[in-house]
Amino acid sequence: MDFLKARRLMVETQIKDRGIKDKRVIEAMLKIERHRFVPPDLQQSAYDDNPLPIGDGQTISQPYIVALMTELLELKGREKVLEIGTGSGYQSALLAELARDVYTVEIVENLYRSADKILSELEYKNIKTRLGDGYQGWAEYAPFDGITVTCAPENIPQPLIDQLAENGRLVIPVGRSKDVQELVLVRKKSGRLERKSIIPVRFVPMIKPEK
């Protein structure tokens, strides 16, 4: 299979044609070999217009949704970004192309390990991975200019709001139902929060760790 051709087609039809404009996001999606982030038997489907299973009941997000969430972060290259839900590591790689430093937290050990492995193989030096609970964010490296959450909590976790920098952007699916949530963009301005609904989405629910 010609992965480069598949990737170009994905970017044209799923990303540009649907309104993603940020040139840096588009360039990075052309560059990153998405098929390396999915299980070997699914590589043929890596550029399809849907999420794919990556094991442990989890998924790699649909390409358009990854692009949209990343564009909403408005990355110019000097930011510190936090990702909750490393999953396959695909969005972590995308963020690493677009920001200065990426911090990513995953709660499922298998996924944490395999994402960490592929991201080191690809020699990303500006990504720090962590096995832990994303509800807590990653206080040690806060504040973050951008925070992206790829699993859906019922409400926005307070630590994530606290760890957002002034003028920072938080992109997060929020909702009680596991079938439909709302993608929300939160911006912190003069310490206050501006909240905007983007589109309905469907993400895996955010896992609450056992106490």
Range list of β-strands (E), 85-202: 101-106, 127-131, 144-149, 164-174, 181-189, 192-201
Residue 201, C-beta contacts closer than 8 angstroms, at least 6 positions apart: 65, 152, 173, 180, 181, 182, 183
**81 vs 58: CA distance, rounded Å:** 22
Contact letters for ligand SAH, residues 52-81 (x by CB under 6 A): ------xxxx----x---------------
Q: Which is nearer to ligand SAH, 156 or 194 (CB)?
A: 156
Residues 116-175 that bind ligand SAH (CB under 6 A): 133-135, 150-151
Q: What is the dihedral of CA 95, 101, 107, 108, to 10 degrees?
A: 60
Asked about 177 being catalytic, the answer comes back as no
**176 vs 133: CA distance, rounded Å:** 19
Residues 180-209 that bind ligand SAH (CB under 6 A): 204, 206-207
Residue 56 CB, nearest distance to ligand SAH (Å)?
7
Binding span for ligand SAH by CB under 6 A among 9-17, 22-30, 84-92, 161-169: 84-92
Residues contributing to the site for ligand SAH (CB under 6 A): 58-61, 66, 84-85, 87-88, 90-91, 105-108, 111, 133-135, 150-151, 204, 206-207
